[in-house]
Amino acid sequence: MSHKSSASYLYLGAAAVVVILLIVVATRDAGPSKYDSFAQCLTENGVKMWGTWWCPHCANQKALFEGAFDHIEYIECSTPGSRAMTQVCRDAGIQGYPTWEFADGSRLSGERTLEELGEKAACELPAP
């Protein structure tokens, strides 16, 4: 085997190891979030967030939950690769992102603190 061939195999092997490590890290269970029960309470109390995949304010809201956002009822208002509003969001009268909707039908638009959401939905935040 030539020196060039063995070097190619070495690079290929190193690249395969890197890919495997990335897959392991990406699929590793991060464990529970301290906000899991808070997020579940919001959803149980009829709170939902309307947003889009491309909205930086929506991303900020999701990040506040530190991994617990999957417990929030979330309605995506754009199709992948598009900024066009979905029909369900047009029908709901959504005018901006994020929009938080509560069980009583009231809404808060824009980024909100967890304290604001908890107070409005009667959900207690975990101790710091």
In 37-72, which positions are buried (b, 16+ CB within 10 angstroms) versus exposed (e)?
A: bbbebbbeeebbbbbbeebebbeebbeebebbbebb
Find where tokens 């490590």 sit.
Answer: 21
Measured CA to CA, the distance from residue 19 to residue 33 in angstroms comes to: 27
**What is the average per-residue pLDDT within 45-56?**
98
pLDDT at 99: 98
Please, what is the average pLDDT of the chain? 84
Find out whether 39 and 72 touch, Cβ atoms under 8 Å. yes
The pTM for the full model equals 0.74
Report pLDDT digits (tens) over 60-113: 999 999 999 999 999 999 999 999 999 999 999 999 999 999 999 999 999 999
